[in-house]
Amino acid sequence: MESAKKIMLQCDYTEGAHPNIINKLIETNLLQTVGYGEDEICEEAKKFIKKHLKNENVDIHFLIGGTSSNQIIIASCLRPFEGVLTVESGHINCHETGAVEATGHKIISLTKELKLTPEMIEKFCTLQENDPNREHVVQGKMVYLSLPTEYGILYTKKELEDIYKVCKKYDLYLFIDGARLAFAFSCFEQTNLKFEDLPNLCDVMYIGGTKCGALFGEAVVIMHENIKKYFRYHIKQRGAMMAKGRLLGIQFYELFKDNLYFEIGKKTVELALYVKEELKKKGVKLFIDSYTNQQFIIITKEKYDEISKKFVLSLWDKNEEGIICRICTSWATTKETLDCFLSMF
């Protein structure tokens, strides 16, 4: 495979898992446990997460991946005629081959902007409540946002509070997709957001493992009582209940036993901000001012071709200024790799 010989910067899931996870896997391999996520490793992992969330009153379930988590969470919350509100570029709207629609639900795009605002939600709900033809329209019942967003942008604590307030006013669930959640806490001075704030800021969310140092897995955290009761039935029905559920437990056991999840997040973002600053110094244009592990640069076709001989970038889009590429740092990225990349500019 030619591409294997290039250095990959296109995404944050090109390597395996953090060594601690591999070690735990080896250590527990011959341990006998019950299946389907009801084992003692999963139990411990849940305790660790609850401790970090400073909240005992949440339900936690480990799922296999992001699409599956989005699909199951949404389908478990909505009545057949209800839909989920998001931005046009929302992951569920763009990159999941209709996984949500396959469960019968419409995704309602509120804006081409990259972030939701309380005003957008309020406007939608006001129209909905006053619509004389209300029964002819899909009813918005959930708001979906990702943190960081598809473009690596963050919401501040205040923004999330305001969004959640309007959700509660109109009886909408707020769901935070945290596929890259580890990278949302490195800019505390800007966001004022801590991990432990999240249970108070939404009804359901998931903590991403796959893109944050795990082999795979997402930890769904449920705050709202309505969503708790039957969640395991939904998991099973959508084909996402692992026989050896402890494998998922192992990932989060290690990530949350101490502070590994947050250390990975911190280190990974620092590397991304390093490359961002260096690129800016070299005059490379940024498509978006991202403070997370995804950086979007605008380069010429020639530059892109040149770099592509040594590195794999993610081709995102084009505009009049050139080609927009995404580069990602991950738990496994080294400064040496980035310096080698920077040397090409």
Within 201-240, the residues that bind a copy of itself by CB under 8 A are 210-211, 215-216, 230, 232-234, 236-240
Q: If binding is defined by CB under 8 A, does position 25 make contact with a copy of itself?
A: yes
- In the chain, which ranges are E strands? 7-8, 59-63, 82-87, 107-111, 139-146, 173-178, 204-208, 218-222, 285-286, 294-299, 311-312, 314-319, 322-328
Cα–Cα distances in angstroms (integers) from residue 16 to residues 22, 152, 295, 331, in the given order: 9, 22, 22, 10
Q: If binding is defined by CB under 8 A, does position 171 make contact with a copy of itself?
A: no
Q: If binding is defined by CB under 8 A, does position 39 make contact with a copy of itself?
A: yes
In the complex, minimum distance from the CB of residue 3 to a copy of itself, in angstroms, rounded to a whole number: 6
Q: If binding is defined by CB under 8 A, does position 247 make contact with a copy of itself?
A: yes
By CB under 8 A, what part of segment 175-194 binds a copy of itself?
A: none
The first and second tokens of residue 159, run together, are 């923004």
In the complex, minimum distance from the CB of residue 332 to a copy of itself, in angstroms, rounded to a whole number: 7
- DSSP 8-state secondary structure symbol assigned to residue 258: S
By CB under 8 A, what part of segment 104-143 binds a copy of itself?
A: 104-107, 109, 132-133, 135-139
Q: If binding is defined by CB under 8 A, does position 305 make contact with a copy of itself?
A: no
Alpha-carbon distance 181 to 7, whole Å? 25
- 104 versus 281: smaller Cβ distance to a copy of itself: 104
Per-residue x/- track, 74-93, a copy of itself (CB under 8 A)? -xx--xxx-x----------
Residue 54's contacts (CB-CB under 8 Å, 6 or more residues apart) are 196
> Among 30, 56, 189, 309, which residue sits at the site for a copy of itself (rule: CB under 8 A)?
30
Cα torsion angle, 174, 248, 332, 192, sign: positive
